Amino acid sequence: MVLGVRAIPLTFVAHVLAILGLVFVLVWTLHFRGGLAWEAPNKSLIFNLHPLLMLVGFIIIGGEAIISYKSLPLRKDVKKLIHLVLHAIALVLGILGIYTAFKYHNESGIANLYSLHSWLGIGIIVLYGIQWLFGFLVFFYPGGSTGLRRESVPWHVVFGLTVFTLAVGNATIGFLEKLTFLENSGLAKFGSEALFVNFTAVITILFGAFVILSVLSQSPAEDENSYSAI
């Protein structure tokens, strides 16, 4: 299904939302939560790396990788390489983001993998890795036959969008979970930080929505920029 709207305006909105998401998560972790650290006596500073890496590294860069076919006026082979590299960066940063959550839990004496958010997170990162490996082998190197690539494109697109949607949904669960913990520890429910976290989650959802809409919209040149041309 292709929507009867052009992709470029939708990708522009997605880029703006990506910048807002970056700003919001930085303000939250640096201003409200005290900063970022790989090693620190205050273990919460270690945890602060988790939302930053997952939102900016995994979701935003992953989303930009998805819409690169619709937003970059480049040759198909160049866009394919950019698509592959951005997804690889997103995957690596996502793995680091999950590691920081384990590191925080282990150094704070907190149990691991007890929440729905953590279960989904592990499953999603595994699916993301499978999707990237499949795309690399079939569409990049060594590359499948023309028939295999043609038949794989719809499944590759649908599976990729499904994993991305799950990632966005799980990120919002993560914001909710962390905010709930903070509020149970005394954070004001209608305070500035609580509102800020909620707005960050809303921006994340809107970014995901516009990424998906851009994929379903009309490419600037259908024969050059669409997923059907992979």
Reported as a single tens digit per residue, the pLDDT across 21-43 is 999 999 999 999 999 999 999 99
The tokens describing 8, both together, are: 């470029």
Beta strands in 75-188 (DSSP E): none
pTM of the prediction? 0.92
Residue 4 has pLDDT above 80, yes or no: no
- Residue among 30, 47, 29, 28 nearest 38 (CA): 47
Average pLDDT, the chain: 92
Task: Choose the weakest-confidence range: 54-58, 129-133, 145-149.
Answer: 145-149
Residue 225 has pLDDT above 70, yes or no: no
Distance of CA 32 to the CA centre of its chain: 23
- Residue among 150, 104, 160 nearest 127 (CA): 160
Query: Would you state the pLDDT for residue 62?
Result: 97
